[in-house]
Structure 1
């Protein structure tokens, strides 16, 4: 499981929150297009520009809490 933090929501004001942590789904095809597949709080995944996010390292216990919170 990988996580990112949103650092920009320009053009995505309704769907992305700056400083919010998102889980990502690895997707080689979209990565090649400079996009990232994120999972929102509803469990749905969406494509967004990867420049809007920074990768973060979380403790395993935090990852488990975030993924079970849905």
Structure 2
């Protein structure tokens, strides 16, 4: 039987963009888990408009933060 585990939040930093209204260079974005998108080299990101959208994974680098920083990032609205 498979046990369900809560995965920690994942964050990325934007390193490339085609539309600066939607993605800001050097900004931290939260990734929404989407296995189908990941198989096609895309990430589901909550963009500058507050919408989740698929972007090329090449636009971002993954970063890991301490639990305290993750909680602080998640609490920012």
The two structures have a TM-score, normalised by structure 2, of 0.80
- Matches of 1:42 and 1:16, distance apart in 2: 9
Mind listing any 5+ residue stretches in structure 1 that lack a counterpart?
none
- Matches of 1:41 and 1:68, distance apart in 2: 16
Residue 63 of structure 2 is aligned to residue 38 of structure 1: no
- 1:42 shift after superposition: 5.9
The two structures have a TM-score, normalised by structure 1, of 0.87
- Matches of 2:49 and 2:34, distance apart in 1: 20
Mind listing any 5+ residue stretches in structure 2 that lack a counterpart?
1-8
Other-structure match for 2:15 = 7
When the two chains are superposed, the root-mean-square deviation of aligned CA atoms in Å is 1.4
